[in-house]
Amino acid sequence: MTGDQPHPAGPEEFGAARGAAVWAASQFGVEHAQAVLEGCAAIGRLTGTAGGIAQAGLLLAARIWLSQAIFVHQIMMMMRAEGFAETPSVGATLIRSIAPLLLATGLATRPVALLLVFGVGQDLSGTRMAGPQALLLVWLVIGGAGPLSLDYLLRSGLARVPIWTVRAIGRLYAWSDRFGDLALPFATRLYLSLAFAGGTGFAMWQVPFTGELVTAPWWTLMLCWALLVGVATRPVTLILWGLTPPIVLSSGTPDQFEVALLLLLLAAKGAGWLSVDGAAACWASTRLRMRDRTAESVPHVVVVGGGFGGIAAVRGLRWAACRITLVDRRNHYLFQPLLYQVATAALSPADIALPIRSVLRDQRNVTVRLGEVVGVDQNAREVILHSERIPFDYLILATGAQHSYFGRDEWSSHAPGLKSIEDATAMRSRMLLAFERAEAEGDAAKREAWLTFVVVGGGPTGVELAGALAELARRGLNQEYRAIDPGTARVILVQSAPRVLPTFSPVLSDRAEWSLRELGVEVRTGAKVTHIDHDGVEIDGGRIAARTTFWAAGVAASPAAKWLGQAGDKSGRVVVDDNLAAAGCPGVFAIGDTAASSAWAGAGVPGLAPAAKQQGRHTANVIRTAIEGHPAPRAFQYRHYGNLATIGRLAAVVEMSRLRIWGAPAWWLWGLAHVLLLAGGRNRTTVVLNWLWAYLTYRRGSRLITGNTTDA
């Protein structure tokens, strides 16, 4: 009986329970503090990103405002001058005339702003710009013109110019940027706080109804003190910005717009490191780094493939508490939609590709590994390369697609496809070599075979390739050969479906076919290729003598499904769930052409670049929420923005929802979209210049035959 009685708790038990409770409370407090720090850091990152975007627009507004002020001032000086003696000097007139244009476009902004700060080109009275105007110019001198400027577009290219003077100026600008992050916010806070406090006679307040002018009230002085020391700088600055209109400006001060612009610039940039806000942010980031370093390990995310989806996934994990390894068998990030232009000598390979390390050089949690993946060991959680194994906690397969010859792989040597830069340069060499062989051929039948080009496949790649081939033959090579007329070349497009561009609306398919025929392309729809060899192609039993055939008819997924032990769908793609996770493979995701997803309102997601990017960002969001211990995000839903395809000069088709465009407007829209989607300012500039040259002259400057010329 006594054994059933509860034993009274002694002091040891009470002490242990109290200690456990204190420990649990302390752990909860630490975790809560860490969560607060992480939340503040995330808010700070979002605010910094939004502030960077806002700062770019504000710097553009400041440049335009200053340029018009200088221009108007110059006009008034010219009107006020009486006689030759009072006319401004030639140098002053030249500076004041050119400065507005340079400031507005953001070209040579720092030198121009520096001349204006020192009063070069000042007016007849010798007075220089007032305080806020001068401070805005100092922002442009130290911090530069911002992203929305010509200086920013040219900067990355000029940094690689092998001239010591240019590179020295680039290093000086980089040092000025770092100095500006420290000095500009502090100087602006100092000036604005003193100005609003009435220390410069700037801020006077008008009493309602009576109109009496008084100095700033006590709560305004408190805001000025907070602005001076940098406490809650962004909210304080926005409050003062909201109070700017009621302030009566003294006669010696400029317009209210410049003061408001300075306040908004400070709100966008933040208080800087010389402030209480900067010290708090530094302390919080240090605490988070110490937590990461003292942790046993952080999750390791391995991304296989450096295409659209892989890069988007890596970018989406920029701020996640993880380390990333990106594995690709090539070292470059390729813009595949313009690959056909490399194959048809319109662009060079460097115009549409960037080194992956260059793309990700600013992301410190990424390691790039050059290698080819041959398998995945799910039990060991390792990615298998030829010479090593890479362990992973999360795996993203973005391995893209490869050519599919529908079981006739022997055709690949006679009809190469277009998936890589190597494919494009080989196709370019084969195409140009055909004209060279035709020039040297004396037999008429053999010459005709060399001048016959067959493109198999009527999708966007096939249509664009056939149109570019016909345009090159008829307009880009004229007067360059003596024995042949390149304009007589036959370009035949073979499509097994009833119409070309079957993913487009029938109206646009008809327009595309009409444009192809206008270029001289023979379009054969509803026709099937039954045989391809070295000397020609058989189509529905009929034979065409053609020494050059290109394949754009079908693609198949990479062997990623086999790596995971899955059967895959009919194209060999990995079947994924609503969050793009591979079935039966925890922590493994497939995106882009590797994944079979039905997230397009129940239909299959197309193998397009926007789809791969959306899937990459969603997968990164899924992994990031899992690392942070948050619930999984909503299921992935693909947003289709439209289809674009170009046929030739001023001929394209664009379909966006119910909007259908063809002809010249579609061609300009297609070009603009592709230029904006290119990676790197240098690539955008080079592509635009090459297109402009080709548009004006019909010439293509990348007509190089490389590799073994005996292959053809």
Residues 6+ apart with CB under 8 A from 196: 202, 203, 216, 220, 223, 224, 227, 240, 247
Give residue for tokens 């697609």.
Answer: 401
Nearest Cα residue to 655 out of 504, 512, 463: 504
For 616, other C-beta atoms within 10 Å of its C-beta total 29
Candidates 464, 471, 513, 655; catalytic one = 464
Where do runs of H (alpha helix) occur along 270-302? 276-294
Where do runs of H (alpha helix) occur along 415-567? 421-440, 444-450, 460-471, 506-518, 560-563
Strand pairing partners for 376? 383
Annotated catalytic, 296? no
For 272, other C-beta atoms within 10 Å of its C-beta total 21
Burial 88-111 (b: 16+ CB within 10 A, else e): beeebeebbeebbebbbbbebbbe
d(CA 398, CA 396): 6
For 497, other C-beta atoms within 10 Å of its C-beta total 14
Give residue for tokens 């899992």.
Answer: 626
Cβ-contact 332, 420 below 8 angstroms: no
| C-alpha dihedral sign at 281, 284, 288, 289 | positive
β-pairing, 643-648 vs 529-532, is unpaired
Nearest Cα residue to 427 out of 554, 552, 607: 552
Instruction: Tell me if residue 323 falls in helix, strand or coil.
Output: strand
Could you tell me how far CA 234 lies from the centroid of its own chain? 28
- Catalytic residue IDs: 464
